[in-house]
């Protein structure tokens, strides 16, 4: 915690010194005062971030909880309570609202990021909105049927039930059999003890018959009874479940009943997913672990600068290039793979092509106008991914001005019902990673990141996003990607100043700008609305 406080003080001191240099060199007093004031506000309002262990292991407290079984909770309706408004306001509501900030005074967004809100339905022409809405409703209903199973249902084991049964972790392969563990009846004295089991996707049987137990069974139903509780419980130890209705990934709910009591538990039916393992070789070799992938369009001069800088530090790492230029030029050399695409096929389509050809455990994504330096330490990224549960870790990009960006954002959604959900994007991160003080956990990072190849392919890149896109990938990966960011792995960004000046642009620069910086399109919002089922989004940059 002390190191975090010192780090934040160092951040503020850096801004303060930059302000002093500004006064000495440029004499722009107002800008310097803004920097000093911003640093002061940042220091006052920023609390030290927590440090969390994301090592690849199950927390011991969670292990104990799973081993101890269900915990009994008691509630007395007569006990007075006082709602906490802050906590209650943070709970999910089935009717989310996207609200932006409203300020009567304009303030610099860099120092005081303001939240903007946008209704996504307005990305469509008014005459088409209702038709799009109805089609989305139909498709979303189909998606829910595909993605939800009995495992999504809430099952509560009520207190004082005499039934004992497994509550978690019961699995069977499709069309296979398992022995159901943990079944028992713990009842008071009776003349006859009886239980029943009912399923919907399988049948019950016994592997051994116990004396003094009577049993009747149908295809998906079984009744057992005995005058001896011990005999009945012994018989319950030999109950098997066999899946009879094939589905590669489904869940059966088993109803377990006795006189006056009902219980339910789930059996997960699914194929075991085969692992996708990559052989790193007998010795550590960065070239056997990492492939560099990029997408280029026209800018062969910048691409060559990238390749030259990579070769200075990593001479044998494979570089995969996806190219959708109209008249592609050959890009050759050792450990280079150059793939030609249809003209203007697009940014995300190029990402998909490049990543589809990766054969190493990790892939590093870079833009074609990045330049490696001694601070571009791929070994650090590999170490973070190897020692944590992260799927993707971003670095930092240093501009020619000296400014270094990490572009960390958190992403969340709120339930919104039939109208669609709410998407919220905020600058920042969740916590620092234990053992890596320069790395944090977040949801989205800058366009310079290393990821597990199989996870990157699992999320994929929507090829409809052609010329401008970035956050869209991380939104598609929300819930499946565990993302981190390290600000001490830095790649340089080639200068854009010359290309931005009318008299400094080459013909290539002019052609590139014509396609790259086209008029704003609503494609992102239309995809958010229909594909991701969002009705609105809020963001502070």
Instruction: Give 106's contacts (C-beta < 8 A, 6+ positions apart).
Output: none
Instruction: Compute the distance between CA of residue 50 and CA of residue 432 in angstroms, rounded to an integer.
Output: 6
Residue 232: in which H helix or E strand, if any? helix 229-236
* pLDDT tens track for 271-286: 988 888 888 888 889 9
Nearest-CA neighbor of 169 among 180, 161, 159? Answer: 180
pLDDT confidence of residue 375: 97
Cβ of 447: how many Cβ atoms within 10 Å? 17
pLDDT at 485: 98
State the pLDDT at residue 522. 81
Q: Side by side, which strands form the sheet with 409-414?
A: 116-119, 534-539, 421-427, 409-414
Q: By the 8 A CB rule, do 322 and 304 touch?
A: no
Given a contact cutoff of 8 angstroms between Cβ atoms, the answer to whether 350 and 341 are in contact is yes
**Per-residue DSSP letters for 406-470?**
---EEEEEE--GGG-EEEEEEE--SEEETTEEEEEEESB--S-EEEEHHHHHHH---TT--SS-S
Angle between helices 2-26 and 29-45 (to 10 degrees): 170
Q: What's residue 281's pLDDT?
A: 84
Between CA 134 and CA 148 the distance in angstroms is 21
pLDDT digits over 64-77, tens only?
433 444 343 444 55
Q: Confirm if 539 and 407 have CB atoms less than 8 A apart.
A: no
Say what the pLDDT of residue 19 is. Answer: 44
Q: Which residue has the tokens 């005062």?
A: 33
CA distances from 332 to 95, 336, 339, 356, 508 (A): 55, 6, 11, 20, 20
Backbone CA torsion sign across 222, 223, 229, 230: negative
Q: Is the pTM of the predicted complex or chain greater than 0.85? A: no
The crossing angle, in degrees rounded to 10, of helices 523-530 and 129-147 is 50
Low-confidence ranges of the chain (pLDDT < 50): 1-47, 58-75, 86-89
Contact, 38 vs 111, CB < 8 A? yes
């Amino acid at each position: 915690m002390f190191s975090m406080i010192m780090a934040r003080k160092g951040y503020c001191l850096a801004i303060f010194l930059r302000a002093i240099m500004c006064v000495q060199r440029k004499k722009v007093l107002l800008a310097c005062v803004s920097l000093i004031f911003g640093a002061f506000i940042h220091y006052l309002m920023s609390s030290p971030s927590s440090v969390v262990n994301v090592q690849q292991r199950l927390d011991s407290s969670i292990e104990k909880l799973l081993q101890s079984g269900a915990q009994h909770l008691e509630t007395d309706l007569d006990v007075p309570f006082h709602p906490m408004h802050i906590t209650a306001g943070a709970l999910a509501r089935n009717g989310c609202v996207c609200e932006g900030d409203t300020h009567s005074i304009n303030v610099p967004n860099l120092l005081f990021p303001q939240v903007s809100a946008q209704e996504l339905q307005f990305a469509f022409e008014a005459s088409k909105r209702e038709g799009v809405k109805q089609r989305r409703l139909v498709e979303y209903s189909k998606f829910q049927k595909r993605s939800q199973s009995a495992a999504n249902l809430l099952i509560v084991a009520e207190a004082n039930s005499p039934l004992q049964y497994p509550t978690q972790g019961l699995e069977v392969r499709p069309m296979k059999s398992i022995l159901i563990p943990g079944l028992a009846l713990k009842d008071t004295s009776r003349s006859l003890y009886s239980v029943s089991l009912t399923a919907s996707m399988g049948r019950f049987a016994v592997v051994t018959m116990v004396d003094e137990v009577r049993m009747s069974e149908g295809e998906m139903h079984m009744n057992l009874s005995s005058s001896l509780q011990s005999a009945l419980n012994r018989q319950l130890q030999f109950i098997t479940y066999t899946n009879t209705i094939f589905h590669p990934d489904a869940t059966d709910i088993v109803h377990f009943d006795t006189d006056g009591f009902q219980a339910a538990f789930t059996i997960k039916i699914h194929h075991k997913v085969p692992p996708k393992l990559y052989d790193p070789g007998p010795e550590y070799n960065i070239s056997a672990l990492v492939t560099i992938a990029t997408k280029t369009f026209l800018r062969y001069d910048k691409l060559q600068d990238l390749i030259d800088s990579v070769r200075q530090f990593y001479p044998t790492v494979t570089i995969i290039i996806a190219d959708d230029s109209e008249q592609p030029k050959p890009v050759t050399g050792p450990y280079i793979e150059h793939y030609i695409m249809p003209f203007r096929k697009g940014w995300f389509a190029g990402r998909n092509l490049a990543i589809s050809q990766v054969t190493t455990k990790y892939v590093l994504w870079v833009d074609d106008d990045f330049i490696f330096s001694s601070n571009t330490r791929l070994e650090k990224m590999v170490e973070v991914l190897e020692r944590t549960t992260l799927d993707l870790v971003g670095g930092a990009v240093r501009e020619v001005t000296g400014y270094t960006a990490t572009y960390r954002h958190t992403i969340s959604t709120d339930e919104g019902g039939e109208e669609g959900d709410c998407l919220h994007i905020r600058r920042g991160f969740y916590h620092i990673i234990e053992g890596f003080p320069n790395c944090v956990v977040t949801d989205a990072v800058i366009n310079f990141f290393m990821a597990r190849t199989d996870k990157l392919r699992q999320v994929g890149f929507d090829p409809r996003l052609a010329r401008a896109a970035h956050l869209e990938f991380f939104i598609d990966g929300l819930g499946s990607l565990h993302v981190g960011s390290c600000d001490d792995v830095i790649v340089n960004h080639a200068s854009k100043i010359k290309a931005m000046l009318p008299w400094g642009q080459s013909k290539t620069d002019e052609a590139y700008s014509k396609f790259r910086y086209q008029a704003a399109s609503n494609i992102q919002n239309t995809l958010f609305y229909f594909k991701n089922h969002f009705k609105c989004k809020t963001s502070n940059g």
